[in-house]
Amino acid sequence: MMPLSIRRGIVRRTALAAALSALVAGLSLVTPAAAGAAGTLQQVTSFGSNPGNLAMYAYTPANLPAGAPLVVALHGCTQSASDYHAHSGWQKFADQWGFAVVYPQTGAANNSLSCFSWFDATKDTRGKGEAASVKQMVDTALARYGSDPSRVFVTGLSAGGGMTADLLADYPDVFAGGSVDSGLPAQCATTQAAASGCQYGGQNLTPKQWGDKVRASYPGYTGPWPRVAIWQGSSDTTVTPVNGTELRDQWTDVWGIGQTASSTKSLTGGTTESIYNDSAGKPAVALFSVSGMAHGLAVDPGSGADQCGSTGAYYLDTICSSYHTATFWGLDGGGDQGGTGSLPAPAGLTVTGTTDTGATLAWNAVSGAAGYNVYRGGTKVGSATGTSYTDSGLSAATTYSYTVAAVDSSGAVGAVSAPVTATTTGAAPQCYTTDNYRQVQAGRAHQSGGYTYANGSSQYMGLYNVAITHTLKETSPGYFVLADSGC
């Protein structure tokens, strides 16, 4: 992502190094925030065997409800988790709509320019290297934050975008959706030598040939496939615009749909949105082409509902891509919630009572409603003919998020209400802090091959000895998860 004018002034490099320097984002590394409470970016350690030698950082908003979505966000070359968090706008929507964000971070030990290795088949394929490390981060986050495993999404910029495409191909059983920002098709290059060819020119492959690269990444998998957003600037000279077209060809072929858009519309910042629907008429692939935008992530600083982020090197003031990506995924309460019906959102949604295992809700009646759908964490959990509902089977001392939508006599679902949170009563899960040896002796963990793993979750804890200490939280009888950042 380093501009060409700067690259020409640098001492001549080998062709392979030049291919990587093209993906450099010219920001200085910012020291990530230290581990802290919810509402701050914090490092998470001991998330697995970490074959890709990555670092894991996470942001969790205060009062994060159980069953919330999880977003994984990958930075560009020479960037860090903290500057991507600071500029990209994901924090705003995590706070507003209630989800956790995980930021994998690579460094110079892996690549001299701190690029994710989207071009290396030994590091970007299922079960290997950096891809495997990201999967371990997802597993850890799901256990630690109680996130919904059916609503895990991944996004990335430039080299992080190339790795995002690879992860979607490697783990379609893990990621419900993705967003490739100024990135490249999955498995476009499998060696470093081939990287520059992908960046600067088309590969002249058919949609089926592109789709075959995805299908070969996890042989035998037949779906469901992730819903994919693609962001590409028309004036990008580092990752040329043909990559956006090739990504469109790749993922529409995987979905078994054509390359003719189902709908198009103009957005702010000179952006054209092209939507490609699946067989059920639901958006499966979205291509956002930003006229005149060079290489970088599209942001739009401001306080508007559809604005986000801050400008900087390779954070370009055009449109808030994070907002449109999040709404494409349904993180704003779309997706399973609400519908195309004409009924307004129910007003006055409140929590009228809680127990150790349940929460009771009430709301104002909507004229014309034949019933109401109730959603917990974005997923429908029940329906009611009246204006109250009791959700049961919940965990004690846990926070949940609820919304409600009215349903008319034809079954059409109206707009979704504003969310409320309910916290069940009872004792919070118990936590235990001690060394790995004593955790095993107490029956909260087990050891294999000299390494320690939490009982239940099987999260990696490091060597089986007294020199390594962790906090384990018992979320259900006999099921323990790492809780080093707080119980």
Active site residues: 158
Instruction: Name every residue whose Cβ is closer than 8 Å to that of residue 235 and which is 6 or more positions away in sequence.
Output: 292, 293, 294
Tally of CB atoms within 10 A around 178: 28
CA distance 330 to 392: 25
Q: Which residues, in sequence order, are bridge partners of residue 275? A: 263, 286
Separation CA 376–CA 372 (nearest Å):
13
Contacts of 224 (CB under 8 A, 6+ apart): 172
Tokens of residue 476, six digits: 């259900």
Classify strands 177-181 and 227-233 as parallel, antiparallel or unpaired. Answer: parallel
Q: Return d(Cα 364, Cα 171) in angstroms, integer.
A: 43
Q: How far apart are CA 20 and CA 368, in angstroms?
A: 60
> Helix H segments across 171-241?
195-200, 207-217
Determine the Cα angle at 49 with ends 48 and 51, to 5°: 120
The tokens describing 86, both together, are 């600071």
Per-position DSSP letters for 237-256, written without gaps between them:
SSS-THHHHHHHHHHHHHHT
Q: How far apart are CA 402 and CA 237, in angstroms?
A: 45
- CB contact burial 335-374 (16+ within 10 A = b; e otherwise): bbbbbebebebbeebeeeebeeeebbbbbeebeebeebbb
